[in-house]
Structure 1
Amino acid sequence: MKPNDVERFAANLRFLCERHGSITAVCRKIGLNRQQFNKYLSGVHLPSPGNIRRISQFFGLGPAVLFAETDEVRMLVDGNYFPVLDRLRGSRQFDDFMNAAVLASKQESIDITGVYDRYQYSSIYKGAIIRSLLCIYNNENLYQHCYIERFPSVDSPPRTDYIFKYHGFTFPLAGRIFFIDFESVQKNELTTSILMPVQRSKTRFMFGIASGVAATMLREPYATRTALHYRRSGLIRKEDMIVATTLPPDDPSIPRDILQYLGDGGDMLRAG
């Protein structure tokens, strides 16, 4: 353990707690004593290895990340650590592609910005449907997006075991929507999707296919049907996060159109 590890851990813990509401609520969800937790926040004590694992699991980060430079943790949590995003923005080839295809496609007057519920069968919890939150927004004439997955604890469902966050680009092309994104918590997965927008009376859906390949076999490669259900305009709010979870296929909150499209998940491809 290096001398400044305690200071880094405390600074990172304070930053992460600021994004999760009250300290009391964080302690309750992790299952740690508030008085002891205050000592971690102030840098008086470092948690035991077991408590470090519990804290890192709650925030959806690897234990080693909690000891990184705070600026790096901020970039990782915000999804901006991927240098490929900036390199793509500054490359002539990407600029040519944008001018020839993506920017021209906006003449179709399709409005895809807003917050969506994103549904697909889970590649982690077999047989369950993962409902994540996805937001498409404009960023300097580009469509970008982020989406957040939350997986509840198998042993204690009210608690969250894993959180995955994805950031990337969104391209409307020839009446279809293409997504390319990078997982920004474990930093090891690239995913792509292609969906078709569908308007049914005043309800907006997108139906298509998503695939992902991680850099390690801890997360299996997958391909599955994916569907989006429009929620509202704007960006993801903290109060929206309650809907991000895994659901049984018969959950009544899943729209009928979504269930009909996803089917029973039997055609989902996973490494075996």
Structure 2
Amino acid sequence: MRDDPSAQNFATNLKLAVSYYPSVAQVCRKLGINRQQFVKYLGGAAFPSRGTMRRICDFLGVDEFEILMPPEQFRDIIRLRPNAAFEDLPVPPRLKDMLAQAVSSPAEVRRLHGYYYEYRYSYTRPGRFLRSLVFIYGWKSYTFYRRIERLKEVHSTGAPPEVFKYDGMIMPVGDRLHLLDFETITQSELTHTVLYLNYSNRVSRLVGMTMGVSALSSHEPVSARICLEYVGRNVQRSRALRGCGLCAPDAPEISPFVRDYLTQPGIQPGMIIAPPS
């Protein structure tokens, strides 16, 4: 065991990861692993089974291949990776209320898990629809999502598209879903979306309003109608992403429902919420 580089890396990396927690005993309690056995992992005298390895990695918030990396590489990963040690830190009461709201009505929100195409008017290309890919998924009792935007004409060739990725959380409030996300590449934008909660057994569409900031130099706050169309629980992501980008409202990718909803009177496409002059 000690001659296996992967096992040696695991023991060293596990020690480092556990050092971010108040005690080894706390880690063992949260993992449900016998402390004597866990100490053997720390000392390199034993190597966990695949199931135990998965539990340890899930708890630490790392992948199995990461915890087997050379220690100098793993150190950079774990240093920047938030972990469960922060779960026990006190937070302001109002933030606790918000987090509690995020886990309410879990069964209703779990039905939404899967992939969606998101449609709205483009903030930067007037008259064009933007089609993005959204993945809604669960983690513990929370529901998160990832949205990927490609600012390029759908199916066009040539230069690679400008890509934006957003990670966010879904909070059900009454009969609405509030989505708040953060752009992870430029780290310079927050988006707030409000959707109607669909109570049907099979969710095919979600509609509402979204507000963000335009990518133009003015960086003005903008809002638009939004529609999410369900694609499936599992998709071929590369193929689905190729269908994302900018397109005309009458493009074959746009269903009549989406076209009618985004263009109906009452909300101007890409409405700018400008400050008073």
Q: TM-score range by the shorter chain?
A: 0.5 to 0.7
Aligned equivalents of 1:120, 1:89: Cα separation in 2: 40
Larger fraction in strand: 1
Structure 2 residue aligned with 1:226:
226
Q: Choose which of 265, 268, 271 in structure 2 pairs with 1:266.
A: 268
TM-score between the two structures when normalised by the length of structure 2: 0.58
Structure 1 residue aligned with 2:135:
135
Structure 2 residue aligned with 1:118:
118
Q: Which moved more, 1:88-97 or 1:220-229?
A: 88-97
**When the two structures are aligned, how many residues end up with a matched partner?**
193
Distance 1:201 1:114, change over 3 A: closer
User: Quick one: which amino acid aligns to residue 96 of structure 1?
Assistant: D
> 5+ unaligned residues in a row in structure 2: which ranges?
1-72
Structure 2 residue aligned with 1:97:
98
Aligned equivalents of 2:81, 2:189: Cα separation in 1: 11
- The secondary structure found in structure 2 opposite 1:251 is coil
Contact 1:152 1:158 in 2 (8 A): no
Q: Deviations over 1:178-203 (max 9, x none)?
A: 11001111111111100014478966
Contact 2:109 2:143 in 1 (8 A): no
Shift of 1:217: 3.8
Q: Deviations over 1:224-267 (max 9, x none)?
A: 11110010014772232111111101012212111111007734
Q: Deviations over 1:128-158 (max 9, x none)?
A: 000000011111221111100001279x754
Distance 1:90 1:259, change over 3 A: farther
Aligned equivalents of 1:201, 1:259: Cα separation in 2: 24
Contact 1:119 1:129 in 2 (8 A): yes
- The secondary structure found in structure 1 opposite 2:123 is coil
Structure 2 residue aligned with 1:240:
240
TM-score between the two structures when normalised by the length of structure 1: 0.59
Aligned equivalents of 1:252, 1:240: Cα separation in 2: 15
- What root-mean-square deviation, in Å, do the aligned CA atoms of Structure 1 and Structure 2 show? 3.7
Q: Percent identity?
A: 25
- The secondary structure found in structure 1 opposite 2:239 is helix
Contact 1:151 1:160 in 2 (8 A): no
- The secondary structure found in structure 1 opposite 2:260 is helix
Structure 2 residue aligned with 1:193:
193
Contact 1:115 1:236 in 2 (8 A): no
Distance 1:191 1:82, change over 3 A: farther
Aligned equivalents of 2:122, 2:170: Cα separation in 1: 22
Contact 2:132 2:149 in 1 (8 A): yes
> 5+ unaligned residues in a row in structure 1: which ranges?
1-69, 76-80
In the alignment, structure 1 residue 147 sits paired with structure 2 residue 131: no
Aligned equivalents of 1:146, 1:135: Cα separation in 2: 5
Q: Deviations over 1:52-99 (max 9, x none)?
A: xxxxxxxxxxxxxxxxxx99x999xxxxx898xx98996634343332
User: Quick one: which amino acid aligns to residue 129 of structure 1?
Assistant: F
